[in-house]
Amino acid sequence: MMTKGGDRSWVSEIKPMPGGDQEHSWKPVTTGNTTSLDYWLNWRFSLCAGSVISSMIISFILIRRYEGLGQENKAESQRQMKQKETDHVGTVYDDDSWRPCLKYIHPAWLLAFRLTAFFVLSGLLTVYVSIEGTQTFYYYTQWTFGFDIVYFGLGSLLSIYGCRQFCKEVNDIRVDQFEPDEEQKGTYVVARLEINTRSKGGGNTADIWGYLFQIIFQINAGAVVLTDLIFWVIFVPFLEMKQYNVNLLMIVMHSVNAVFLLGDVAINSLRFPVFRIAYFLLWTGIYVLFQWIVHAFISFWYGLHFFVLFFSKDEENQETAYFGLSRWPYPFLDVSSQYSPLWYLLVAVLHLPSYAIFFLIIKTKHWMLSRCFPYSHTLYVFEK
């Protein structure tokens, strides 16, 4: 983003603190020509590319081996052979996406929460894009924030479906039951609901939308922790030392999404199998590949962006277009540094604690509910 006086800041959300030196604003490190073959054909990029591609290959192997969409029949035959109810690690059930973790919570409460999160996050992103422009999607943070909105949007639709299914369950129970007096009827329905609510060892498996929702949930879980962890632990302290500050909107963008996701976790009954870290790694890998392609063909992308901005007659945006595309959104993505392989390795390693933090949160939730509400807790089996 261009600042007054022609000074360019690294991140458009950052502004000098009162009393800060305008002449020493933070700027990205100037790199070589990323369209040159010399920039890419070297040992540094080979190591970086090897780490990214190898992680994506491992992710595909994990998905192929454990994902429930390709293993349901195999898991079913294993259950029959062992004559006991044993889930395949990748199985997702039809009501996982909409049934609350406690039987006494109506699915409508989860629907209301997801609708609220969807509209609040959509509003925040709309305001942010209106201020910063569409180039904000150049950043991993906005990719993740947008994916959070997709999660709550799809979750709202599945919760609407779940509310209808829940009403059908209640009506079926009322039809099957005897007709005692009115005082006993309500108690009888609740009791039958408790008995007929399935455990995780049985029930119908989800369709493609249920699996997609589960996958998006686990991608967001890791990505939200990763982005917020880097922002609050690394960026904010570093920028404060440089007499810079972040505005209120940026603070909200790096906190509200995590709050809503944790709120959804507190209510939902989604499981968290470890192998789906593969999707999280693929998500980050796709973002890195996107950045490499953009920088390798910077002239082509700038031409498209400039063509759109030309008709706006906005010279500042036209100049910013090339500046935004020619700079790496995060310094550690630049492969011109001799330390770039170490940076790529460090970011890759950070995926493990980011995912583990959410894993521990969900496991702690399961542990607490199983002890505080042993007869109402619907999550009977926790995935390893």
Give first-to-last CA distance, the chain, whole Å: 45
Helix, strand or coil, per DSSP, at residue 24: helix
Nearest-5° angle of CA 333, CA 235, CA 301? 35
CB 271, CB 382: distance < 8 Å: yes
| pLDDT by position in tens, the chain (length 384) | 333 333 333 333 444 433 444 434 344 444 567 778 888 989 999 999 999 999 999 999 999 999 875 554 554 445 444 433 445 778 899 999 999 999 889 999 999 999 999 999 999 999 999 988 888 888 999 999 999 999 999 999 999 999 999 888 777 665 555 455 555 544 444 444 443 444 444 468 899 999 999 999 999 999 999 999 888 888 888 777 766 667 788 888 889 999 999 999 999 999 999 999 999 999 999 999 999 998 888 755 555 554 444 444 444 444 444 444 567 888 889 998 889 999 999 999 999 999 999 999 999 998 998 888 877 666 544 443
Model-level pTM?
0.79
Spatial distance between the Cα atoms of 105 and 197, rounded to a whole number of angstroms: 13
Contact between 323 and 2 (Cβ < 8 Å): yes
Can you tell me the distance from the alpha carbon of 249 to that of 232, in angstroms, rounded to the nearest whole number? 14
Rounded-to-integer distance, Cα 96 and Cα 100, Å: 8
DSSP state of 79: H
Q: Whose CA is closest to 158, among 198, 218, 100, 103? A: 100
